[in-house]
Amino acid sequence: MNIGLDEIDQQARQGAASGRGARPPTILLVDDSAENLKVVATLLETEGYDIRIARDGRMALERAARIMPDLILMDALMPLIDGFETCRRLKADPRLHQIPVIFLTVLNSPGDLRKAFDIGAVDYIIKPIQEPELLARVRTHLTVHRFQQDLERKVEQRTQELMVANRKLQQEMARRCRAEEHLRHIQRMEALGQLTGRISHDFNNILSVISAANDLLVKRLRHAGLCLDETEVIGNAVDRAARLIGQLRAFSRRETLHPEMINLNDIIRGMEDMLRIAGSEGIVLRISLDPDLRPVRADTAKIEQIIMNLVVNAVQAMPDGGNLTLETHTATVGRDRAATLGVEAGDYVELVVADTGIGMDEAVRRRIFEPYFTTKDPETGSGLGLSTVYGILRQSGGGVRAESEPGKGATFRVYLPVCAVAPPSA
């Protein structure tokens, strides 16, 4: 707000006097006497103002709304609607109430003056008009009015700027909130990974001892021509425990992977029969494979396991049937999505496994990749399917995310980094 009164006054004068550059101020004269109108109009026109006239209150209101003058000079005594009433109506109209009104009148009682100012006039000139007085007051009120308008425009502009800045700030805060939330989630999964990694490692060692001892026992018994059912029970339990440990190792990224250059489409085609059987119960399977899919470096058996785990969940989420869709694409993962996945931004092969099942709410969705998190009863769910998916993908340089709403199905998106080198042609 650096513009001072002098500057605006100068602008007003320049506009008024020269008619060049800035538009000359427009003044609406309201008077029922043609003679009065002529005298005042001539005087003001000589000063360079743009003069418009109205012969009565009704016409004044109508013209003011149309031309939006910078100032109104109003006679108080007029037939039909007098000047006071006209002024009152102007001030009641939100579009017009800011136009300054100066009364030009023969009425000179203190009551009339008070009435004029009470209804919102800015000034009161008593006839007969003194030329210097009229010109000085007109110029002063035009200057003040311009200054006010300028101020309002600037306030409005600044308000807009602040609103935009505020919106940006809120978006940035929301983005940061989301990023922090993802970071916390990734850190939590990292901590869980370290814990399960440690536990699975220790138990694996103990299990190796039990397994080796059991094998030895079986051998010795066989030597002695004996056989005990209990050794088989131990053997089975060891196998079950080993599978469980394998899943925990997968989550904690301690699996031994055998990565090779593969095309995800080939893997899905190879599993198609199995997928159709898995989804036979009233489930319509749709497979859409991108023919230009880029290769990835991954462990085929583990990728098959990932697909099976996702498909089994999808089937379990559709007890009354539905649609199961598998799609592949090559996708560019931008900065934001990469941050939520905990991967580098870049090109990825995307596998989408979508169902139209029961879906899940946000509280469940946040925890589905944690080991032992399940909403199913112990016979159906172990809570280790998605943690295995998560661990294998993270170990392979990729990631996974789920989108879902209760009753609206679930979509799992698996990302594996595109392999830079093309496979040698056969």
Binding mask 359-378 for ligand ADP (x = CB under 6 A): xx---x---x----xxxx--
Residue 375: which of Mg ion, ligand ADP, none does it interact with, CB under 5 to 8 A by kind?
ligand ADP
Q: Within 376-415, which residues bind ligand ADP (CB under 6 A)?
A: 376, 381-387, 410
Which position has the token pair 């080993």? 242
Q: How far apart are CA 92 and CA 293, in angstroms?
A: 69
Residue 388 binds Mg ion, judged by CB under 5 A: no
Q: Could you tell me which of 16, 117, 32 has the C-alpha nearest to residue 78?
A: 32
Angle between helices 57-67 and 83-92 (to 10 degrees): 30
Determine the length of the chain.
426
Using CB under 5 A as the binding rule, whether residue 385 contacts Mg ion is answered as yes
Which tokens go with 299? 């462990």
For the bound state, the minimum distance from the C-beta of residue 414 to ligand ADP, rounded and expressed in Å, comes to: 13
Helix runs in 122-228, H state only: 131-223
- β-pairing, 50-54 with 26-30? parallel
Q: Taking CB under 5 A as the rule, which mask of x and - marks residues 300-329 in contact with Mg ion?
A: -------------x----------------
CB of 340 to ligand ADP, least distance (A): 18
Please tell me whether residue 356 binds ligand ADP under the rule CB under 6 A: no
Interaction partner, residue 357 (Mg ion, ligand ADP, none; CB < 5-8 Å by kind): ligand ADP
Taken in order 312, 316, 317, 322, the sign of the CA dihedral is positive
Which range touches ligand ADP (CB under 6 A), out of 213-221, 256-264, 300-308, 352-360? 352-360
Of 414, 399, 419, nearest to 327 by C-alpha is: 414
Token code pair at residue 167? 């919106």
Which C-beta is closer to ligand ADP: that of 314 or that of 414?
314
User: Does residue number 328 form part of the binding site for ligand ADP (CB under 6 A)?
Assistant: no
Rule CB under 5 A: is residue 404 a binding residue for Mg ion?
Answer: no
Smallest distance, Å, CB 389 to Mg ion? 9
Tell me, by CB under 5 A, how many residues bind Mg ion.
2
| Residue 350 Cβ vs ligand ADP, minimum distance, rounded to whole Å | 17
Shortest distance, CB of residue 183 to ligand ADP, whole angstroms? Answer: 22
Residue 200 or 313 having the CB closest to Mg ion: 313
The count of C-alpha atoms lying within 13 angstroms of the C-alpha of 311, restricted to the half-sphere facing its C-beta, is 28
Rounded distance between C-alpha atoms, residue 12 and residue 23, angstroms: 9
Residue 322, sorted as left (phi over 0), alpha (psi -120 to 50) or beta, turns out to be left
Q: Could you give the CA distance from residue 114 to residue 136 in angstroms, rounded to a whole number?
A: 22
Q: Could you tell me if 77 and 106 are in contact, meaning their C-beta atoms sit under 8 angstroms apart?
A: yes
Q: Does 354 bind ligand ADP (CB under 6 A)?
A: no
Give the span between the Cα atoms of 42 and 47, in whole angstroms: 9
Considering only 43-51, 351-359, 378-386, 414-422, which stretch makes contact with Mg ion by CB under 5 A? 378-386
- For β-strands 322-333 and 296-298, DSSP reports them as unpaired
Residue 184 or residue 376: which is nearer to ligand ADP going by CB? 376
The option from Mg ion, ligand ADP, none interacting with 368 (CB < 5 to 8 A, set by class) reads ligand ADP
Could you list the residues that contact ligand ADP (CB under 6 A)? 309, 313-314, 317, 355, 357-360, 364, 368, 373-376, 381-387, 410
